Structure 1
Amino acid sequence: MRRSATLISISAIAVLASGCSSGSEGQATGGKEQATSAASSPAPAADAGREVQAAVDTTKQSTARIDDRIRVTGMGQDFTTTVKGTFDMKADRGRLKVSLAQTGTSSDAAVPLDEIFHGNTVYFRMPEETNGDTGWRSTSRDKAEVHSVLRAPLNDPEFVLRQVSMAHSFTAAGEQKVNGVRARHYTGKLNHKPVLLRMVKERREKVEEPMVKIGDRLPATADVWVTKDGLVTRILLVCDLGSMKVSSTMNLTGLGKPVTVASPPKGAQAVPAASVGGPLVG
């Protein structure tokens, strides 16, 4: 009976969270990069959790090239959001190019979005608009919310780092070659808190209670790959609700190398964070 109740709750959550989006797991499954080293000894769960937290803290003081693939499948949907760019996380500055398309279609069919992060302000624009309005808008970074499971507001890569730092029950899963470097792989679990982090109130209230009741049986996981320098080079978040699956694979490369970020555009129209929504911005 408990299992049946859990499955019913998960199905209900999938329906209510049908607007969710996150990244292609294709980069993190299969292939030569994923050969696990049999010589790697697993770390105790407590140590693994501390190692992941330390890596997150170190990475938040670094720079990186970002490549995030966010995929939603099920309930008649199969689309991928791609987020690419450079980010100086210590300075809170970066530039991202976002695109949304049905999975497997050409880039010509993608809907684009440009974003510039500058401190607590995010500038964004649709470079292609049917009404011709391609002007920049700006909004508050820390007030932006998400409307879908496992999404980052305004595609903020530092938010993904925060989500993975909230995972629990981490264990070491060996060493692998990821993004051209050797990295230690950790796998953990997600509860409702990181899954629903900064979700808009009306949607969160619909799914939070059943997720809390499911507890550790919530089918949501976090995988992290950490380089020998103690920096996060890949994060894979997955929430598989049966009829709806969300996955987000964020690769961080060029860690610690200088990055060039754009200056804030002039004349951007300020808009309330509550007015910003849709699959392109979370």
Structure 2
Amino acid sequence: MRKLAERLGDGRGLRYTLVQLWYAAGRKKVPDAARVFKRVRIGVGVAIVVGAFLLMVSGAAPAGVVIPLAVLVSALALVGIGAARPWFLRRATVRMPVSYDMFRREVVGRWTPIYGGPPPGSVDEGQVRPPAIDWPRSAVLCPDRSVLACLAANNVAQTWSMALCARIDQLPPEVPVIVLHDASPAGIAVAGKARVALGSRAMVVGLSPRAVSANASALRLREPQPQDTAFLHGEPLSAAEIEWLCEGWWSPIAAIPPAKLLAVLERAVERVEDAVDPDRRRAREVGFLTWPTR
């Protein structure tokens, strides 16, 4: 837990939420669908062998009958299991090894009385409220309370004069809006609604299915196939991304460590400032070794 806390703090005292700690603690133990299927196949083979052995030991059937029958059943079972593999991999559920409620109760709940406080650097997302900014220069729209709490705890609102909002109706008028969202049907829907409601003010920098599926270190979870995915065909997604989402895969933006989350936001803020300030954009185009010209 202390190593996880230090890693999430990035060696510079960054604050993180308990949800981010939960994802960091459990991501390496998330079940692999292919590995689960392999275990099922091995389990079926072992069950057939044990069953045949018990039949022979008990004398219920002679070995001359049991052995050929066991070989035949094993061959048929392996063929059937092999044929079912694509179906299984398309429908297998992949979730965190323990629920968030259990993590808070069994891990954080035990840590606090023993060490006299919560894990170092952590904040409870339910207790952190984004501060009010009188004259915001930009805003963040993200429906994930944990992400907003992380940004607020790391003084993002004050540093960049930024409003942190969970809903579109909470956004200040006229300012540019950076949209953060999960790589999920719900997250894509949030981005789509923001584009419609905000127009050119919206800058979507949330997780994309393409980036998640191509990143081996990204956390990929899977729920039963979502019911409503028809709207995905109207979003700026590739056929492969739509297929990935329709198969139930998703990735939470709350699983991104604070340092990476802040780096993504900083780059987005620079793009926003370049867009509204042409002088700043031209200045950024001048390299350190650019030779001066008239």
Q: How would you bin the TM-score normalised by the shorter chain?
A: under 0.3
Higher relative contact order, structure no. (Cα contacts within 8 Å, ≥ 6 residues apart): 1
Structure with greater proportional strand content: 1
Give the helix-richer structure, 1 or 2. Answer: 2
Could you tell me the TM-score, scaled by structure 2's length?
Answer: 0.23
